[in-house]
Structure 1
Amino acid sequence: MDKQQAQVERAEKMTLGEALRHKDVVRNELIAGVTGFFAISYIIIVNPLILKDAGIPTDLSVFATIFSSIIGCLVMAFWANAPIILTPGMGVNAFFTYTVVVNMGLSWREALGIAAVASFVYMLIAFTKASTVLSEAIPESLKSGITAGIGLFLVEIGLEKAGLIVAGKSSLIVLGDLTKPATLLALFGLVLSFILYIRKVKGNFFIGIIATSLVAFLFGIKDADTPTVDLARLGQYHKIVFQNDFSSWLSTPFILAAFSMTMILVFESMGLLQGLLPDQRKFKKTFEGSSVTTFLSSFLGTSPTVAAAESASGIETGGRTGLMSLTAAIMFALSLVFVPLLAYVPSGAIAPVIIITGAIMMQAIGNIKMSDFAEWFPAFLIIVLIPLTNSISTGLAFGFVCYPVMKLALGQGKHVAWPVYLLGFLFLLDLIFSSLL
């Protein structure tokens, strides 16, 4: 074991206060926090653009996005001491906007009310033994499938950001235009980051981001959409705070939407944390902290927060304590003033980090007993359907429904814990309700 790996493993056992007393740990955690922040920084502009279609003003929801991320990261730092970045989720925000508001015809204020109810149920589960029972009952093959599925999802996101894959006319995905400067930049960053990673250079991903951004600046390569924050509008932010509407809470649409959102929040968060956390002993506290932040985000005027899959970028850089999350919180706070500087960190600089991180997470496939098809196939469904449906919860649903069915078909139903049957039934209901919404 090399010295750097030993330092990282030592940091896993430290409290936040102990980590602050070790310069080598502090350095690793700071780099991890900055790397993780850059990997997820696109959420600052993308989330408000999605919520705009729900009717929430973009110039106000950008504050909600930043504030909820700051609170989430602080909770992860001081409550869970975990290297997890919480931001409004990129699946649940689409459900919030396009399913609840656009398709069901509810207002964004009612959608915030639905988010609050779903988050409250999430908290009830997180702060009781239910979370531990559910977590411990999940078979190892499904846990590994979740990790690998999230990894493949990250690879897809990274390849899209790099311009290496685009939507095709005759097929879902085709090769992007390799003559575009932005794509060539991403390829340069991918090769550089890969070399730095396999050579085990300290701060490899962070160095790759900075170096690729410098090349982009020299050649005038920048993203078309530049995130902006007008601090002058902060005084109007109160217009979307505490706007939750519970007036239709007994209506069928409200109840069905709240059920589906609860399933997304509870089990997407559980799956993400199972796949991301280096130290699973921190799962309970992290799950609790995530539920609290999710609840608070609904009153801040944004769709629910979840653990960002891009946290894996910081974790792979060496993040092991809440100091990484604290660093990310500080970066989000600074973004209120320095967001325009993110224009100098193009997607081509971020994409390589996301791609390599995803590939590292996909190594979890090796933990699945592929010779046992009843174990492999449900995990396989999770792995392929998460990226293909662009939904972590959908991938989880098919995998968890399939697992008990496969075991029953083989006459091995007695070996399946009862919570797995419960999860399979709930996910089946979620698939049915989601198709009806």
Structure 2
Amino acid sequence: MQKFLEKRFQLKTHGSNLRTELLAGVIGYFTVVYIIVVNSSILSEAGIPKEAAILSTIFISAVGCLLMGFMANVPLIVMPGMGINALFAYTLVGSMGLSWQEALAAVSVSGILFMILAFTPLAEKLNNAIPLVLKQGITVGLGLFLVLLGLEKGQLVKPGKHTLLELGALNDPFVLATLLTLLLTLILVIRKVPGTFLWSLIFGTLLGFLFGVNGQVGETTLSLAPVKDVFFALDFHGVTNVAFWSGVFTMTMVIVFETVGLTFGQTKQLKREESLPKVLRASSITVFLSGLFGTSPTVSALESGSLFASGAKTGLATITTGLLFAASLVLMPFLGVIPNSAVAPILIVIGLSMLQEFKEIDLTDTASMLSALLIVVLIPFTYSIADGIAAGFIAYPILSLFTKKKERISMVMYVIAALFLVQFIIQWI
């Protein structure tokens, strides 16, 4: 068996060994297992039954990791993306008015479009056509959105009596539990403790017991029965509606930009740039399957860095993480006890980490800077990822006309801006 694995994943060729890969996969799993709780919590706010959302998160993460490991043979963890799950729940379902079943259909259609791009040279061309500053603006805007979402979920902010928002009641046990959990999470991040978010969830749950804000063991049962509630629950009745295709367009753009940009950096860090086409193909297939399985789209997780740091060089580590995701089914009876006061700090910290991208934004070009800042500001303040992105993409080519730029704006950029503008006009009509 050992010889088979070494040969199949070319361990010696990539300078690794069986023990290193397996250990890295285990560490990677404990780094990202929080997604089961956090993603299902967000999806449940879109109307997806909590138990079903947990199952779909587990299954798509397991399948995504297996596909990435076998198809691309690189140590990248695939799981539902933070930020994109918010786009699914709060924009497609919340703002655009799609049912969660129609939103799942939009996810699968986006997956098909992504597959068309990934299996052709179009993905790279589209990615190259979009200015880096706008991609960075999307990352920062999503970060702010997650911070706001976490603050609300942890009741650290609430609707104000005389203002839009105000500080939550600091004498509330729920708020105190959130604050203490957030403090510990920040300390763990600073100390770079492996499995930070897992320890954060455990500590937050224990605090929940002390402050009386937990659920009960057994609220989420060990049963595959909820699978039927979300697997192949897609509803295509909305294909004649503008909102459906508006959602497909926005989601496809976000998925492609985030996946291509992120995996390009990850494969470059691994010195495996030649694997990027296979990585994109595996990613696109998993996005398509996300809609079928009943969850928001997947991405190559930022936490994949835990695999690199542990010495992983091949897909065997990813497959190990995927198999552990499948084994997570035994945790289901205990997931119902985790309160939002334990989940909220994770959203806040992930959001804060995404804000670091702001320092990379080129502020010397005023037109580009203002376009990016429109995205950054409007995503959280409109509570719509789609509207924030659209505003920035429309503004960029218009503002660039009044600058002395020597670089020519891509025709693809004009087309994308026009499509976003048409989308706005149709909504107004």
Q: Secondary structure at the match of 1:85?
A: strand
Q: Which residue of 2 aligns with 1:188?
A: 180
Residue 128 of structure 2 aligns with which residue? 136
The superposition leaves residues 252-300 of structure 1 with CA deviations (integer Å, 9 ceiling, x where unpaired) of 42xx345323212211113433665552657654443333223223334
Structure-2 residue corresponding to 1:119? 111
Q: Partners of 2:195 and 2:237 in 1: how far apart?
A: 51
2:220 counterpart (228, 233, 243): 228
**What SS is found at the alignment partner of 2:163?**
coil
Alignment of 1:42-121 (within 5 A): 42-48=38-44, 50-51=46-47, 63-80=55-72, 81=74, 82-86=76-80, 89-94=85-90, 97=93, 103=97, 115-121=107-113
Structure 2 runs not aligned, ≥5 long: 1-8, 268-272
CA gap of 1:175–1:125, structure 2 versus 1, over 3 A, is same
1:44 partner letter: S
Distance in 2 (alpha carbons) for counterparts of 1:202 and 1:248: 44
Change (3 A) 1:63 1:120: same
Deviation readout 1:360-406 (Å, 9 max, x if unpaired): 22122112222432121111111122222333332221111111111
Contact 2:219 2:336 in 1 (8 A): yes
- The residue that corresponds to 1:279 in the other structure is 266
CA contact (8 A) 2:214 2:339 kept: yes
| 1:145 corresponds to 2:137 | yes
CA distance in 2, matches of 1:200, 1:64: 30
Are the counterparts in 1 of residues 52 and 230 from structure 2 also a CA contact under 8 Å? yes
SS of residue paired to 2:225: helix
When structure 1 is superposed on structure 2, of 318-327 and 205-214 the one drifting more is: 318-327
Q: Deviations over 1:331-361 (max 9, x none)?
A: 5434433223123443333333332332222
Q: In the alignment, which of 324, 339, 342 is matched to residue 346 of structure 1? A: 339
**Which stretch of the first structure deviates more once superposed, 66-75 or 156-165?**
66-75
CA spacing shift, 1:25–1:344, aligned 2, 3 Å? farther
SS at match of 1:42: helix
Q: Is the partner of 2:158 in helix, strand or coil? A: strand
Aligned partner of 1:266 among 252, 260, 284: 252
The residue identity in structure 1 corresponding to 2:77 is: P
What percent identity do the matched residue pairs reach? Answer: 32
Say whether residues 1:424 and 2:417 are aligned partners.
Answer: yes
TM-score normalised by length of structure 2: 0.77
Aligned equivalent of 1:38: 34
In 2, Cα distance between equivalents of 1:319 and 1:112 = 32
Instruction: Tell me which of 288, 306, 322 is aligned to 1:295.
Output: 288
For the pair 1:404 / 2:397, whether they are aligned, the reply is: yes
Q: How does 1:384-395 map to 2 (within 5 A)?
A: 384-395=377-388
Q: CA RMSD in A?
A: 3.8
Deviation for aligned residue 1:175 = 1.0
Question: What amino acid does structure 2 have at the position aligned with 1:136?
Answer: N
- 2:200 and 2:180 map into 1 onto residues whose CA distance is 10
Corresponding residue number in structure 1 for 2:155: 163
Return the alpha-carbon distance in structure 2 between the equivalents of residues 294 and 63 of structure 1.
Answer: 16
1:178 counterpart = 2:170: yes
Find the aligned partners of 1:108 and 1:163 in 2 and give their Cα distance: 25
What is the DSSP-based 3-state SS (H/G/I as helix, E as strand, rest coil) of the residue aligned with 2:135?
helix
The 8 Å contact of residues 165 and 174 in structure 1, kept in 2 or not, is answered as yes
Q: 1:120 to 1:227 in 2, by over 3 A?
A: farther
Paired residue for 1:6?
none
**2:352 is equivalent to residue 359 of structure 1:** yes
Offset of residue 408 of structure 1: 0.9
2:122 alignment partner AA:
A
Distance in 2 (CA, whole Å) between partners of 1:45 and 1:208 is 16
Distance 2:123 2:90 in 1: 26
Distance between the aligned counterparts of 1:317 and 1:297, measured in 2? 24
Q: How far 1:223 moved relative to its partner? A: 5.2
- One-letter amino acid matched to 2:362: K
2:106–2:245 CA contact under 8 A, matched in 1: no
In structure 2, the CA distance between the partners of 1:197 and 1:219, relative to structure 1 (3 Å rule), is: same
Distance in 2 (alpha carbons) for counterparts of 1:206 and 1:111? 29
Contact 1:143 1:274 in 2 (8 A): no
Please, which moves more after superposition, 192-201 or 322-331?
Answer: 322-331
The alignment's TM-score, normalised by the length of structure 1, stands at 0.76
Contact 1:138–1:420 (CA under 8 A) maintained in structure 2 = yes
Q: What SS does the corresponding residue of 1:128 show, helix, strand or coil?
A: coil
Residue identity opposite 1:351 in structure 2: A
- 3-state SS of 1:166 partner: strand
Structure 1 unaligned residues grouped into runs of 5+: 1-14
